[in-house]
A and B are shown apart, each in its own frame.
Chain A
Amino acid sequence: MNTQTMKENINLTNMKEKSIAEIHAEHKQTIGEPFCDNVKFSTRNVDVFYADNQAIYDVSLDIGKNEVIALIGPSGCGKSTFLRCLNRMNDTIDICKVTGDLELDGTNIYSKNQDPVLLRARVGMVFQKPNPFPKSIYDNVAYGPRIHGLTKNKAELDELVEDSLRKAGLFEEVKDRLNSPGTGLSGGQQQRLCIARTIAVQPEVILMDEPASALDPIATAKIEELISDLSKNYTIVIVTHSMQQAARVSQRTAYFHLGKLIEVGETNQIFTHPRHELTERYITGRFG
């Protein structure tokens, strides 16, 4: 085949394919299985606005108990915004407005009676960049339990701190220097410290916003391993840019595109047989 015909072929395919913007504009209904049994979190018709800009359009999604669900999609698609709705972290942004029904165990988390502080104790969060407090490793983990009065005495607190650090797979590395500052740890250790800090509050759901994006491959592998361990006891919602990571750690995957929830399904199915054209294009790496 000479180059001339190759060019023509490409032109032809381009003409056949609709542009991404067109497909996105036509998209109305999430395809796949956004709803599930044994629901922990249920969200219906969620819209999010930053001042006049709409960031999320009519998203409805269930999150099951003890499942790991991955939110994927290109940058700016609203997956982090959606995640931050789940523990009302968006409340800290003045111009942000959330509408729709978001229920945790059947109670509306945006109702007037809901104390966002209590909600955040039940729905913990791990951030993109490790953000340990400028305190000792011990104080970092003990921060939450102290605030919520989870332990009666020092011995119980010690135990809880050790237990949380163990669950985060960090205890063996730091047991001799619990009193040295948490900011002195390596990036991966810091992130595991942040996870330990979150576990120490004994939440029911853990939200993770690209928890491994600032880490090297080895640290990433440790975090992923940790997520698999944690999924036995916690419901985990993870936002990730890495499709391999989503494939490795999650049972279900939701694909977001420019504020719309395009497709939800079993992780295996999403990655092997995506049903929506946008999902397919994203997964095969044609954009994003």
Chain B
Amino acid sequence: MSITAIIFVLLLLAAYSYFIKRQKVYALYRTQSIKKSKIKQTLPKYFGYVAALWSLVPALLVLIVIQIIDEPLVKSSLADYIQSEKIVIGDAADDFDLYMNEIKNMSIDELESADPEKIKVFNQYQKFQSISNYAMTIIVLAMAILMTAFGMKKVKINTPARVIFEKFIEIILLLAASIAVLTTVGIVLSVLFESIRFFGEIPFTDFMFGLEWSPQTAIRSDQVGSSSAFGAVPLFVGTMLISLVALFIAVPLGLMSAIFLSEYASSRFRSIAKPVLEILAGIPTVVYGFFAALTVAPFIRDLGESLGMSVASESALAAGLVMGIMIIPFVSSLSDDVLSAVPTAMREGSLGLGATQSETIVKVLIPAALPGIVGGVLLAASRAIGETMIVVMAAGLAANLTVNPLQAVTTVTVQIVTLLTGDQEFDSAKTLAAFALGLMLFVTTLILNVIALHVVRKYREEYE
């Protein structure tokens, strides 16, 4: 029986327990005089829920456990079989895994062409598979039926059904929350392990403080690319440079448009302008990339040349400008929301003292809304740091160590992309470097977050 069918049967059983139990409790309530005495009763459906849980949850748990142990069990029995039949497949564990994969992926029409030994193993494999499947079906269904019967007996009229069901809801919610947290932990760990492998080959200090980035690994020692350097400083400087240019554009523009929208604009204008502004965040970054590479970068180059400056045709300035436009909505939309959320009493208090509207905004509203504004800026900053596409198209790949926004630079994310795309072996320093970069990027944004949180806590002015 397939797992889908088993789960379907379990659900049927659960539905059965639910309706039967609920019906029984209804009947009990009707016959008992408690009903008339107007004492509040637990609703019958809660008894139904608890009964359904009894028939569903234990069986599901057993199903999950069997699913986990099923594969290794089949594998080890097959290994035993292979040994007993004295089939030679090589000694190493890797070879056995390879062999197993071959067997698993064999299909019926391949059977004729395959060698007889393999066919024998394949047949045996299928036999084991069907045994394990039968066992699973029987165990799970037996469990479900047993527990349904048990639940029917166990759930009585004095069972605190509502409390139990409430607890169940709590556990479900807890599971949902922990999945998000565990995923984060999992991502961090996976990046961390690969990074440790990288730092096994390239010293940590070389990576952190090296001023040159040219990630090549030679296969033979006489190849051109044998001189490799993994100094991440140029990448981080490039990232910071572009992000700063972007924030330099986005924070003032975003904040000012937020102030206009929340304090000056009529509600009709606001209801139109705000969604339009938010569209900016919805434009795919590739499209921004076109814009940056084809329109803004040449424009800046021409402008620079007419002023007698030498500007690279791919410049940090172009990428930063376009990225700045892209992240305006992150700043403006959030700031607008928090500014609007400051109580009218604050505004009137200030206006009532003879402050002008702009004085009110600067001295009362912005301090009160500061945490939200910083939050918006932070969101924008992490977006800018993580942005890849615009930089690939507009700022180039050259890892120059410079703080001149008119030159081409590259960023951490762009390098990660170039390191991981293309055909290469996975355990070279070149590919592993991508994980180290990822880890550093993660740590950087984390530190930014902590700092911002600290700043907000220190300077916020709390209104009620």
Q: Verify A92–B348 contact, CB threshold 8 A.
A: yes
| Residue B266 lies at the interface, judged by CB distance under 8 Å to chain A | yes
**Of the residues A120, A129, A183, contact of B352 by C-beta under 8 Å:** A120
Note all chain A residues with C-beta closer than 8 A to B350. Answer: 133, 143
Surface stretch bound by A, among B16-24, B185-193, B456-464? B456-464
Which residue of chain A has the shortest Cβ distance to B344 in the bound complex? A92
Q: Verify B349–A201 contact, CB threshold 8 A.
A: no
Binary CB contact string for chain B from 336 to 355 against chain A (1 if under 8 A, 0 otherwise)? 00000001011111111111
Binary CB contact string for chain B from 343 to 369 against chain A (1 if under 8 A, 0 otherwise)? 101111111111110010001100110
Q: Complex Cα distance A127/B347, Å?
A: 12
Q: Complex Cα distance A183/B354, Å?
A: 21
**Of the residues A122, A134, A201, contact of B368 by C-beta under 8 Å:** A134
Min C-beta distance of A81 to chain B, whole Å: 14
| Residue A87 lies at the interface, judged by CB distance under 8 Å to chain B | yes
Which residue of chain A has the shortest Cβ distance to B342 in the bound complex? A134
Which residue of chain B has the shortest Cβ distance to A148 in the bound complex? B354
Q: Verify B364–A133 contact, CB threshold 8 A.
A: yes
Q: Verify A183–B463 contact, CB threshold 8 A.
A: yes
Binary CB contact string for chain B from 421 to 464 against chain A (1 if under 8 A, 0 otherwise)? 00000000000000000000000000000000000000001111
Which of A127, A134, A201 gathers the greatest number of chain B CB atoms within 10 Å?
A134
| Residue A125 lies at the interface, judged by CB distance under 8 Å to chain B | yes
Min C-beta distance of B464 to chain A, whole Å: 6
Q: Verify B352–A117 contact, CB threshold 8 A.
A: no
Q: Verify B463–A134 contact, CB threshold 8 A.
A: yes
Q: Complex Cα distance A117/B357, Å?
A: 9
Binary CB contact string for chain A from 177 to 212 against chain B (1 if under 8 A, 0 otherwise)? 000010100000000001001100100000000000
**Of the residues B348, B354, B355, B462, contact of A131 by C-beta under 8 Å:** B348
Q: Verify B354–A118 contact, CB threshold 8 A.
A: yes
Note all chain B residues with C-beta closer than 8 A to A125. Answer: 348, 352
Note all chain A residues with C-beta closer than 8 A to B359. Answer: 147
Q: Verify A124–B353 contact, CB threshold 8 A.
A: yes
Q: Complex Cα distance A194/B353, Å?
A: 10
Min C-beta distance of A238 to chain B, whole Å: 15
Note all chain B residues with C-beta closer than 8 A to A198. Answer: 352-353
Min C-beta distance of B162 to chain A, whole Å: 39
Tell me whether A89 and B463 are in contact in the complex, defined as CB-CB below 8 angstroms, given that A94-B267, A134-B367 are known contacts.
Answer: no
Q: Verify A147–B345 contact, CB threshold 8 A.
A: no
**Of the residues B346, B349, B353, B363, contact of A121 by C-beta under 8 Å:** B353
Q: Complex Cα distance A183/B461, Å?
A: 10
Min C-beta distance of A235 to chain B, whole Å: 16
Which residue of chain A has the shortest Cβ distance to B359 in the bound complex? A147
Q: Verify A134–B363 contact, CB threshold 8 A.
A: no
Which residue of chain A has the shortest Cβ distance to B367 in the bound complex? A134
| Residue A32 lies at the interface, judged by CB distance under 8 Å to chain B | no
Note all chain A residues with C-beta closer than 8 A to B346. Answer: 131, 133-134
| Residue A135 lies at the interface, judged by CB distance under 8 Å to chain B | yes
Note all chain B residues with C-beta closer than 8 A to A194. Answer: 349
Number of interface residues of A (CB under 8 A): 29
Q: Complex Cα distance A148/B364, Å?
A: 16
Min C-beta distance of A185 to chain B, whole Å: 12
Min C-beta distance of B311 to chain A, whole Å: 46
Q: Verify B354–A201 contact, CB threshold 8 A.
A: yes
**Of the residues B345, B353, B356, B367, contact of A135 by C-beta under 8 Å:** B367
**Of the residues B348, B355, B356, contact of A127 by C-beta under 8 Å:** B348
Note all chain B residues with C-beta closer than 8 A to A127. Answer: 345, 348-349, 352
Min C-beta distance of B238 to chain A, whole Å: 40
Note all chain A residues with C-beta closer than 8 A to B354. Answer: 117-122, 124, 144, 147-148, 201
Which residue of chain B has the shortest Cβ distance to A144 in the bound complex? B353
**Of the residues A117, A120, A122, A135, contact of B461 by C-beta under 8 Å:** A135
Min C-beta distance of B436 to chain A, whole Å: 44
Q: Verify B462–A134 contact, CB threshold 8 A.
A: yes
Which of A125, A133, A183 gathers the greatest number of chain B CB atoms within 10 Å?
A133
Min C-beta distance of A145 to chain B, whole Å: 9
Min C-beta distance of A169 to chain B, whole Å: 19
Q: Verify A183–B353 contact, CB threshold 8 A.
A: no
Binary CB contact string for chain B from 156 to 179 against chain A (1 if under 8 A, 0 otherwise)? 000000000000000000000000
Tell me whether A131 and B353 are in contact in the complex, defined as CB-CB below 8 angstroms, given that A92-B348, A94-B267, A183-B463 are known contacts.
Answer: no
Min C-beta distance of B440 to chain A, whole Å: 38
Which residue of chain A has the shortest Cβ distance to B266 in the bound complex? A94
Q: Verify B368–A129 contact, CB threshold 8 A.
A: no
Q: Verify B353–A129 contact, CB threshold 8 A.
A: no
Q: Verify B267–A134 contact, CB threshold 8 A.
A: no
Which residue of chain B has the shortest Cβ distance to A92 in the bound complex? B351
Q: Complex Cα distance A89/B349, Å?
A: 10
Q: Complex Cα distance A280/B352, Å?
A: 34
Which residue of chain A has the shortest Cβ distance to B364 in the bound complex? A133
Q: Complex Cα distance A200/B459, Å?
A: 26
Which residue of chain B has the shortest Cβ distance to A87 in the bound complex? B352
Q: Complex Cα distance A197/B464, Å?
A: 18
Min C-beta distance of A17 to chain B, whole Å: 40
Q: Complex Cα distance A120/B348, Å?
A: 11
Q: Complex Cα distance A198/B346, Å?
A: 14
15 new A-B contacts, CB < 8 A, other than A134-B367, A147-B353, A147-B359, are A94-B266, A117-B355, A119-B354, A120-B351, A120-B352, A125-B352, A131-B349, A132-B349, A133-B461, A134-B346, A134-B462, A143-B363, A144-B355, A183-B462, A194-B349
What are 15 sample pairs from A and B whose C-beta atoms fall under 8 A apart?
A: A87-B352, A89-B348, A92-B348, A119-B354, A120-B354, A124-B352, A124-B354, A131-B346, A133-B364, A133-B368, A134-B368, A134-B462, A135-B461, A183-B462, A201-B353
Q: Interface on A for B, CB 8 Å cutoff?
A: 87, 89, 92, 94, 117-122, 124-125, 127, 129, 131-135, 143-144, 147-148, 181, 183, 194, 197-198, 201
Q: Closest 8 interchain pairs by CB?
A: A121-B354, A134-B461, A131-B345, A125-B352, A120-B354, A144-B353, A131-B349, A134-B463
